């Protein structure tokens, strides 16, 4: 087997010699590449290696971006002032880097006004086209018509 590690002369050793060298240094003999010819082993402190690996994974998890989806609810006959108010909030959410899920909720017989809901969401997407891109076009799911928006990259 090929032996690598700190304080070790790299080279090809028998298994017994590698184990003896690891025991002398009070470290562990760990197989790194089993498929290589000859197999590669490293002399390291295995517990320390596991600890460092876990710490790196934790740091990567912290640095990854967390996606938040904000919801904005409309009715099929949403007034102009309410629309502008919700539009302003959606712009703020998108500038913060959050996704926006806008939906029109139909109650009772208001489901007859599907076209109004679709027009409202299309207008909403058009008004936000400078700061957002459409992930999902307006789609009716049960009593809701849903539009998904994601922030544009700057």
Same domain flag for 92 and 47: no
Last residue of a domain, one of 61, 87, 102: 61
CA angle 142, 145, 80 (to 5 degrees): 140
74 bridge partner residues: 104
- The token pair at 45 is 């402190």
Asked if residue 148 lies in contact with residue 136, where contact means CB atoms within 8 angstroms, the answer is yes
Same domain flag for 75 and 57: no
> For the domain that residue 127 is a member of, what is the CATH number?
3.30.110.10
| Helix, strand, coil share of the chain (percent; to 5) | 40, 30, 25
Same domain flag for 48 and 76: no
> What does the pLDDT look like over 80-107, one tens digit per residue?
999 999 999 999 999 988 899 999 998 8
| Total number of domains in the chain | 2
CA–CA gap between residue 39 and residue 55 (Å, rounded): 28
Residue 112 binned pLDDT confidence (cut-offs 50, 70, 90): confident
Last residue of a domain, one of 43, 61, 79: 61
Residue 154 binned pLDDT confidence (cut-offs 50, 70, 90): low
E strands within 40-116?
A: 40-44, 69-74, 99-105
Asked if residue 134 lies in contact with residue 144, where contact means CB atoms within 8 angstroms, the answer is no
Same domain flag for 118 and 143: yes
> What does the pLDDT look like over 66-75, one tens digit per residue?
788 999 999 8
Indicate the pTM of the whole model: 0.57
Same domain flag for 54 and 86: no
Asked if residue 41 lies in contact with residue 32, where contact means CB atoms within 8 angstroms, the answer is yes
Structural domain of 101: 69-151
């Amino acid at each position: 087997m090929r032996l690598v590690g700190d304080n070790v002369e790299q080279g090809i050793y028998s298994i017994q010699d590698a184990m003896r060298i690891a025991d002398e240094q009070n470290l562990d003999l760990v197989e790194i590449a089993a498929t290589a010819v000859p197999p590669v082993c490293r002399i390291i402190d295995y517990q320390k290696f596991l600890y460092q690996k876990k710490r790196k994974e934790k740091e990567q998890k912290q640095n990854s971006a967390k996606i938040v989806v904000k919801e904005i609810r409309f009715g099929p006959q949403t007034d102009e002032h309410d629309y502008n108010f919700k539009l302003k909030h959606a712009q703020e959410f998108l500038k913060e880097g959050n996704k926006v899920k806008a939906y029109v909720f139909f109650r009772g017989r208001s489901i007859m006004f599907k076209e109004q809901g679709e027009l409202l969401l299309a207008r909403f997407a058009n008004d936000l086209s400078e700061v957002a891109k459409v992930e999902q076009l307006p789609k009716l799911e049960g009593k809701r018509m849903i539009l998904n928006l994601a922030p544009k990259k700057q």
